[in-house]
Amino acid sequence: MRKELGTFALLVVLCVVVAIINPRFLSPANLQNMARLIGLYGIFSIGMGIVIITGGIDLSVGSVFALLGVLLSMMLAQWHWPGALAVLTVIGVAVVLGLIHGALVTRLRIQAFIVTLCGLLFYRGLARFIANDETKGFGTGAGFEWLPKLATGSLFRVPMPFVLMIVIGAIMWVVLHRSVYGRYLFAVGRNEEAARYSGINARNIIASSYALSGALAGVTGVLLAFYTNSISPSSHGNSLELYGIAAAVLGGCSLRGGEGSIIGIIIGAALLQVLQNLVNLLGIPSSLNFAVMGAVILIGVIADQLFKRRSAPA
């Protein structure tokens, strides 16, 4: 809880500082824009966080976005599938990919880092091949007008992705913090052997976390495709998995596993978007974008470490 509070305090301070320096931060357009991005990033960051809680990692997310985007565009614009079917298929593909990762990690005992790194390379290549390396779009959008609205529309002026994130976050909060399954996820992340000795099917729990991450990546993949509205297979979703990892770590997840919370992850995702926004609004050269983010995350982790050392019993 303490770590979440720290990140939250950092978020508030950043918001206040940026708002004072540049009042445009608080303009409805800016806030909406930011909330939309927080929603998009928040959803898959939750999935990433759950994998990290079990002690794993999922590096393939960004490439999965590209693959899903390409597939979605082809289903809708070329093959004229019904919208709902296309969306469900795409999310299904993401779940299956997650299950494959999970199976490789738990059955063959390959390190998650390697499995999903191979995924990162493989899906990117596959997406480019399927798309002939051409940028894909959704044409006129006839027949599935409701779909882009999920990414670009708003509900009572709140951007839809943000609304979806809150809904998904609430569901995942219950799953992670109130359910038997959630308790098992933490148990497996803290001590897989002891969990197994307690009768928990540790391998299935771990594998399921990749499927869950896949499902949430699938949802984000759909939203992201409509958000950008054009999918260039070589760059779509590039390195977004790193945002997910950063959000999870800022939100209190430990890469050693067994720690983290949904609220923390969402705060972490929000913090990253505020940082992006700060770079834009404060007139910092956008080339420094990543440098600023890296520095802030590092400072946050250092502060946390120093605080931990001071409060630890001598």
Partner 1 sequence: MKGIGKRFPGVVALDRVALEVYHGEVVALIGENGAGKSTLMKILGGIYQPDEGSIVIDDQPVSMHSVADALHLGVGFIHQELNVLDNLDVAANIFLGREPRWGGFLKLIDRSRMYAEAQTHLARLGLDVSSRTPLNKLSIGHQQMVEIAKTLSQDARILIMDEPTSSLTLSETERLIGVVKDLRTRGVSVIYITHRLGEVREVADRVVVLRDGRNAGGISREEIDHDRMVKMMVGRELEDFYVHPQGVVRQPCFEVRELRTRRYPQHAVSFKVNKGEILGFAGLVGAGRSEVAQAIFGVDPPVDGKILLDDRPVKVQAPRDAIGRGIYLIPEDRRTAGLILEDTIRENITLSSLPRYASAGLINFASELEAASDIFRKLNVKAPSIEEPVGNLSGGNQQKVVLAKWLSLKPRVLIFDEPTRGIDVGAKAEIYELMRGLAEGDVAVMMISSDMEEILGVSERVAVMHEGQLTGVLERTECSEEAIMSLAVGKE
Q: Using CB under 8 A as the criterion, which residues of the chain lie in contact with partner 1 when the complex forms?
A: 174, 178-181, 183-184, 186-187, 190-191, 193-201, 258
* Closest listed residue to residue 119, CA positions, set 133, 101, 135, 102: 101
Q: Are 262 and 177 contacting, i.e. CB atoms less than 8 angstroms apart? A: yes
Tokens 């779940």 identify what position?
Answer: 95
Give least dist CB 200 to partner 1, A.
7
Which backbone phi and psi does 232 adopt, to 5 degrees?
-95, 110
Which backbone phi and psi does 193 adopt, to 5 degrees?
-65, -45
Give least dist CB 180 to partner 1, A.
5
How far does Cα 11 stand from its chain's mean position?
18
Give least dist CB 292 to partner 1, A.
34
Give least dist CB 201 to partner 1, A.
6
Give least dist CB 23 to partner 1, A.
45
How is residue 150 written in tokens? 């999920």
How many CA atoms within 13 Å lie on the side-chain side of 211? 12
Please identify, using beta-carbon distances, which residue of 80 and 308 lies nearer to partner 1.
308
Q: Are 4 and 261 contacting, i.e. CB atoms less than 8 angstroms apart? A: yes
Give least dist CB 312 to partner 1, A.
12
Cα–Cα distance, 243 to 253 (Å, whole number): 13
How is residue 279 written in tokens? 């770079």
Cα–Cα distance, 276 to 256 (Å, whole number): 28
Tokens 């839809």 identify what position?
Answer: 160
